[in-house]
Structure formats: C-alpha cells, structure tokens
A and B are shown apart, each in its own frame.
Chain A
Amino acid sequence: MKSFLPVLAALTVLAVLQLVLGSSEYFVYLASLVGVNVVLAVSLNVINGMTGQFSIGHAGFMAVGAYVAGTTSLLLKDDQLSFLPPAMSDQLFLLLALLLGGAAAGAFGFLVGLPSLRLRGDYLAIVTLGFGEIIRVVIQNSDGLSKSLAALPGLAPVGRFVGQFGGALGVSGVPQRSTFFMVWFWVFVLVLLARRLSDSSHGRWLKAIREDEVAAEAMGVDTTSYKVRAFVVSSFFAGIAGGLFAHFVPIINPGSFTFVKSMEVVVMIVAGGLGSTTGAIVAAVFLTLLPEGLRSLFLKLGGGDASLAQKVDQVRMPIYGMLLVVIMLTRSQGLFGTHEAWDLWARRKRAGAKA
C-alpha cells in the first residue's frame, strides 16, 4: 500500500530519535511543546486559512481537550490492562484519553461553529474570543461548578469529573505519558490528515467558501454545513493537542489557555501564510523555539542571573507583534501564501517533465 509508506518512514525516524534523544529531558520537553503548537497551528488553519472564517479562541478548544484527557488519565491512573506490558497499556489509556479530549473539543467546536452560519468576520471573531474566555473562566471556577452539578439529579458523575479540574490551582499528577514519540506521531498523523483534507473535494469546498461564498453556494456547496464541519474537525485536532500537552507538563491550569495563547496560534498561521499547512508548521516551530532561544541568550547575557531571562515571557507578545508587522509589511500573504511545500515540489517536477 503506497499510502502507508510515509507512515512507516515517519515511525522509523521517530523511533530512532526517541532512542537517541529520548533521555534528554530538555530536548523532549521542547520538542513536545513544538509538536503541540504545530498541531494547534495546523488545526486553526483549517478554519482561518482553508475556510476563511476568523476564529481567535483556539486556546478554549485546547483547554477542553487538555482537561478532559488529563482528568480521564488521572482518574484511570492506577488501572492496567493486565494482559499487556505496562508501557503498552499506558499508551492505550493515553489514546483513549486523547480521543475523549478530542471528541469533547469537537463537540464544543460544533456549538461554536453554529454562530458562524450567521456571523462574519469581526463578529465571528468576537464570539470565538468570548468562547475561549468563557471556557477559561468556567475552569477557573470549577470548584463551585462541580458542587452545583453534583447537587443536580443524574449529574453527580459529571460533577465529580469537573471537581478534578482544581479551579485556579489546576490539575497536577496527570501521568506523564506523552513521550516524544507519541507527540510527534500525532503531529505526523494530524498534518497528514490536514494535507489530505486540503487535497480532497471536502477541502476544495472549504476553500470555495473562503474564496466566494455566494459562488460556492451556487455551485452546490452546502456552505453552512461545511463551515460547522470545519469548526468540528479543527477543534477535534486542537483537543488532541491539548490532551498531549496535559500529559507532559507537570500541571495544567487555566493560565495556560488564555487569550495570549489563542493569539500566539493566530500569529503562527498568519505569519506562515493563511491557508498553508507548510507555513503553519514552519511558523509554529520557529515561534516556539524563539522565546526559548531568547531565554538562553538572556541567561548568558545576565551571567547566569535568571531574572533577565524571566523577562522573556513578558516581552514575548510585543516581539510577536513586531514580527507580525514586519511580515505583513514585507510579505503580506505570509511566508508561504496559500502554497504548500509539496505543491512547489510537484510544480518543479512538472516543469522538469515539460523541459
């Protein structure tokens, strides 16, 4: 099967990297962070890039995925599938948690997608922003919420589940099951899915909505249904990213899913070129590593004094902002425009064939 070849190749490369670098904690942490951001950027690109809608609340979907997956794993921490080696059983439970987190985020994506049928541009942006903030605030106050839920007949288990969220303090003790291999395996799979979507009738219909909604509708595209589907798929991906994140950070709290996080993802896809999966990947890698690079640089400048390095987090957004302005001034379509690396490659091949 030709379509499985890239999967096999990727698995091999990832396995080798895991063996060679898997013991370096710093590398694994950084690589996992990059991976999560790549998934977030690629997924937001489905809504903002391919479909041309404007969503700026992506951290909300990530939060839903992180909390649902993280809490699931926490509750099932001590369970084992006795017929499997422990490591494998752990990974199966991780898979279950991730899929639950993704599905929950997808369900929220459906709800948030509905207003996109009536709202356009700025108005839709405000709804998605509001959604992201609501999710964060609800989690922050989850203690009270869980008590109210537990009091309602039939909702006691939901209340117990929400009770694990820990309010502003967050959830700690989620088993650390997101290995480097696992994170990048998902990155690979989701990027592949995004690419396949983009290169199918479904992806073309999303792009038709972006290009001209009236014409798309006149050509038989059910624009409302497809806008909602873009939200569902995109938030499912974001939920997986959140789930992966929950399984390698020591603690998940509402502070990780603020508006700043949402904007970070928007900056990534705008800088990379709206509509380009390649651009989203490149920008996500670069913009995740940039603050880390700056941090080590400042650490050196400060002669080992960490206070200067801590400032990096504070100047991160202004730096992103400036970067965005520079990119917009010099290359307003972003690094890649709507193009993909594989398109360029295909074009070269075609040109070569003609010559």
Chain B
Amino acid sequence: MSAPLLEARSVSIRFGGLKALSAFSLTISRGDLKGLIGPNGAGKTTAFNVLTGVYEPTEGEVLVGGERVNGKRPFQINRLGVARTFQNIRLFKQLTALDNVRIAVLPETRRWFDAARVQALKRGGAAQRALGAALDATDNYRDWWRAFLRTPGFLREEAQVTARAEELLSVMGLSHRKDELASSLPYGEQRRLEMARALGTRPKVLLLDEPAAGMNTREKADLMVLIRALRDRFDVGILVIEHDMKLVMGICEHLTVLDHGETIASGDPAVVRKDAKVIEAYLGEAPAHVA
C-alpha cells in the first residue's frame, strides 16, 4: 500500500488563545470522496488552510505523497498536487474566464538544468547554494526571453496551455463564457470556474470549500453529481466542506465532523449521522440539517 496522497497527522493550530483546530487527522487517497462538516466556526476552512500551506501547523504534521510539507509555501504544496477552491470565491476578477484557468495550467517547459539537481544544490553549502540560485535564475530568465522572442517551442507550450484550459472550461460547461470577465459571471458559474481553475493545476487531491454555498436545492443536487463525475474523470481524491449534512450524506463515502476545532466523529456517513455528539452539535445550530 503506497502512502496516501494527502495526510494530516494530529494537526493543531492556535490563533493567539483560540485553538481553531486540535489533533486533526485525515487521509485522502486516490479516488476518495470524503466530506468535512461541522457548524459555523468549527474550523473547516482553517483545516483547508493548514493542508494547503496558508498556515503552518502549531503541532502535528501534514504530508503530501508521504513527504512532510510543514512550512512549505502554498504554491509549493500546490505543485505537489493539492489544489483548492475558496469559500468566499477568489477568482481573478478582472481577467477572463479563460485566463483564470490558463493561470493555473503550468506549461511543460523543458528546463536546461535538472530541477531535482538544482534543489539538491540549494540545500548544500554557501557556494553550492549560490550556484543553485544562479542556475535557477538562468532558467527562469531564459523562460522570459523565450516569451519575449516567441520561440516556436514557447508558442507550442502556450497553445497546449490554452487547449488544456479550454478543455476544462468545456468539462465545467463554461465554454460559452471563456472571453467574459470572471466578475461578470453568475454566482453558480463562478463556483464552477473556480473548480475548473483548481483542476488546471493537475491536482491529485482536490479540496472544495463549500462549493454549493448560495445555490438552490436543485443546483446543489446537480453539483454533487458533477463532483462525483470529476472524481472519476480526473482520477483525483476529493475532500468537500459542506454545511448541509443531507447533501453530503448522498455522495460522500466518509465523513469527518468538526466542532470547535475538535473532531467529534469520523467514519461512515450512516454511522456518523446517528452519533449523539453530532446530533447535539447540529441541533445547537440548525435541526433541519439532521432530519
């Protein structure tokens, strides 16, 4: 059995006096579709932020593909194969839908210097670090000059990026919007554009923060079907945050329930929904959800 794609081992995070997340553990493997639920302020978004490197855990560790990523920057964790959407949509508003997705797609540039070797150099002594940085800079600026000169190789890569982005827009049913500004899209389409953008980074794990928020019941049901389809089509592991317990029950194969930063239940949805602590946490907030 290989290491899970994404794993949190007893992760805690503290904001001043507030323990927003304590001893949070979770694994996501290929093909998983798991849910993370809990009332307002339970720490769900915080959990995403820790998993994606926005915050560094105060205790515990986060592993991507078996590699410890504590302290790595969000862009580095993303490159390792973890992509996310945001609860309060964060699109590049003044750019077109196509550009939003193209930004996420990394061109397959052949580098002059082997990336792994350069990384190894950068971990060495001062002279090696300097050499590593110089090689890195050379490659980076060479890349800019390829863009300036529009070399055939560069144009080919750019065309691949555009084709990939268009494909993702079409999967999410947004092809007709590709030249429109992200900010001008209706709410539901903005949510789907965010998912297309996250998929652009070719993730192995996709984290969706309340993708159904603000949608009506019908739209929500459609979205859940879409999420499952994405899992199968892109062969990713998915973790969904959702407020509406009923909705999440329908598609998730595993649930983790948070309340005040504590994991109060975790496991099979049918079992979790009968858990006394879960019922209490949800009763305290909105009984309708459990019904």
Contact = CB atoms under 8 A, between A and B. Distances in A.
A223 B53 CA distance: 14
B95 A201 contact: no
B90 A214 contact: yes
Contact of B75 (A197, A223, A233): A223
B144 A216 contact: no
Contact of A222 (B75, B94, B148): B75
A221 interface: yes
Nearest to B198: A219
B102 interface: yes
Nearest to B85: A218
Contacts of A215: 86, 90-92
Interface stretch (A124-132, A166-174, A205-213): A205-213
B102 A218 contact: no
Given A205-B103, A220-B104, A220-B201, A197 B140 contact: no
Interface in A204-257: 204-205, 207-208, 211-212, 214-223, 225, 229, 233
Contacts of A207: 92, 95, 99, 103
Interface string B137-177: 00011011001101000100110010000000000000000
A18 interface: no
A218 B95 contact: no
Contact of B95 (A193, A197, A204, A223): A204
B15 to A, nearest CB: 17
Q: How large is the interface on B (under 10, 10 to 19, 20 to 34, 35 or more residues)?
A: 35 or more
Contact of B148 (A193, A205, A219): A193
Contact of B143 (A3, A202, A208, A221): A202
A197 B147 contact: yes
B200 A219 contact: yes
Nearest to B79: A220
Contacts of A193: 148
A338 interface: yes
B95 A200 contact: no
A197 B158 CA distance: 12
A147 interface: no
B52 A218 contact: yes
Contacts of B93: 211-212
Given A196-B147, A201-B107, A201-B161, A217 B102 contact: no
Interface in B94-130: 94-95, 99, 102-104, 106-107
B84 interface: yes
B60 interface: no
Nearest to A195: B148
B277 interface: no
A73 to B, nearest CB: 25
A37 B179 CA distance: 33
**Interface hub of B106, B144, B179 (most chain A Cβ within 10 A):** B144
A193 to B, nearest CB: 5
B78 interface: yes
B176 to A, nearest CB: 12
A221 B103 contact: yes
A202 B147 contact: yes
A211 B89 CA distance: 13
Contacts of A222: 73, 75
A203 B107 CA distance: 13
A328 B94 CA distance: 19
A193 B158 CA distance: 16
> Which among B90, B141, B157, B158 has the highest number of chain A CB atoms within 10 Å?
B90
B74 interface: yes
B103 A208 contact: yes
B54 interface: yes
A200 B91 CA distance: 19
A202 B93 CA distance: 18
Interface string A176-209: 0000000000000000010011001111110110
B83 interface: yes
11 contacts: A202-B147, A204-B102, A207-B95, A211-B94, A214-B74, A218-B78, A218-B86, A219-B78, A221-B75, A225-B140, A338-B94
